C-alpha cells in the first residue's frame, strides 16, 4: 500500500510564475524524498510604485510518498 502526504510551500521569483514554480519544486526536492506531484493553489504578484510587476509569488501543494 502506498501512502502519500501533502505539504504546502510558498515560492517567489522576480522573473515569472513559471520560474517561481520551478524554484519551489527544486527546493522541495532538496528536503523531501519521493516528490510525485504539485498543485498550484494560488498565484499573486507584487506591483511596485511605478506600476510594474516586481515579484511573482505562488503557493504550491507538494505531494510526496512516505517511506516505510
Enumerate the H helices of 7-51 as residue ranges: 17-31
pLDDT of residue 14: 97
Residues in Cβ contact with 31 at an 8 Å cutoff, skipping those fewer than 6 apart: none
Q: What is the pLDDT of residues 4-20, one digit of tens each?
A: 999 999 999 999 999 99
Bridge partners of 63?
6, 37
This prediction's pTM: 0.88
Cα 16 to the center of its chain, rounded Å: 13
CA–CA gap between residue 39 and residue 59 (Å, rounded): 9
39-59 pLDDT, tens digit per residue, is 999 999 999 999 999 999 999
Amino acid at each position: 500500500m502506498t501512502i502519500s502526504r501533502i505539504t504546502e510551500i510558498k515560492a517567489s521569483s522576480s522573473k515569472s510564475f513559471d520560474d517561481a514554480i520551478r524554484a519551489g519544486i527544486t527546493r522541495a526536492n532538496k528536503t523531501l524524498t519521493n516528490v510525485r506531484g504539485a498543485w498550484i493553489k494560488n498565484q499573486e504578484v507584487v506591483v511596485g510604485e511605478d506600476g510594474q510587476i516586481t515579484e511573482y509569488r505562488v503557493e504550491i501543494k507538494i505531494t510526496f510518498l512516505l517511506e516505510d
